Structure 1
């Protein structure tokens, strides 16, 4: 299993809404050696369910987006090795990064395990300069909370 880029939830959300940041993420999503951690699939699935309940997404649209994630990138499952590393990362990052969550730790552990860079605009990762590819260079530190269209 080889991958150079990890696509995080922020990048997927921006891609699906068709934003400028999403256009930057698109180049990495379409790269053959890109991957998505399974925790990101769960986060996007949850986000799309909220969008359905708000009337901004359809059940079919949700399924199409989740299927697209699977065919566009390698889905990396949470292994014991990644989980152990994520636990270590979580303890360290929570000391210095407000709002850091276990999903962030799993994403970072997946990237480190694979020797990959995280394609993101999430402010929680912005201090990891050598480990990320920021898609929001004009707006550093912005969090993805926008609506899917």
Structure 2
């Protein structure tokens, strides 16, 4: 299973070289987990920088993967992971999904750089 973080999703939608690197991961929707917090982050960024129609289009694409909603158990697990790894809230939730499903996280976020099950890309 794979998780693509918000930064890589945005690179994908922008058509950058990092977006090209993660395209095969995103397009393999049978093996794609989408933490609901990434939907929030991507929608907000595109809404601010472009418009609501483009943001809704992006989210429709993201929802083709398996969306993982934040429930009580995941929230508690994320808090523990956040404490252990000194991660901010959204990153804690994303990494909790990563750990729960033993998935590979594809990211440009330095918070994740040295953690297990992470494929890190330097920002351009």
TM-score by length of 2: 0.92
**Which residue of structure 1 aligns with residue 54 of structure 2?**
61
Identify the match of residue 125 of structure 1 among 103, 112, 120. 112
Q: Indicate the residue corresponding to 2:13 in structure 1.
A: 16
Shift of 1:60: 1.6
Once the two structures are superposed, what CA deviation does each residue of 1:33-77 show, in whole Å capped at 9, x if it has no partner? Answer: 1111001101111111211xxxxx232211111111112x11110
Instruction: Identify which of 59, 76, 87 aligns with 2:79.
Output: 87
Whole-angstrom distance in 1 between the partners of 2:84 and 2:99: 15
Q: Quick one: distance in 1 between partners of 2:47 and 2:53?
A: 11
Q: Structure 2: 5+ residue runs without aligned partners? A: none
1:114 aligns with: 101
SS at match of 2:3: strand
Q: Which runs of 5+ in 1 are unaligned?
A: 52-56, 95-99, 144-149
- 1:82 and 1:7 map into 2 onto residues whose CA distance is 18
Q: 3-state SS of the aligned residue for 2:70?
A: coil
RMSD: 1.4
User: Which has the larger share of helix?
Assistant: 2
Q: Does 1:33 align with 2:31?
A: yes
TM-score (norm 1): 0.77
Ranges of 4+ aligned residues in structure 1 off by more than 2 Å? none
How many residue pairs match? The answer is 123
Q: Distance in 1 between matches of 2:40 and 2:69?
A: 11
**SS of 2:114 mapped into structure 1:** coil
Higher RCO (Cα < 8 Å, 6 or more apart): 1
Equivalent-residue separation in structure 1 for 2:68 and 2:37 (angstroms): 9
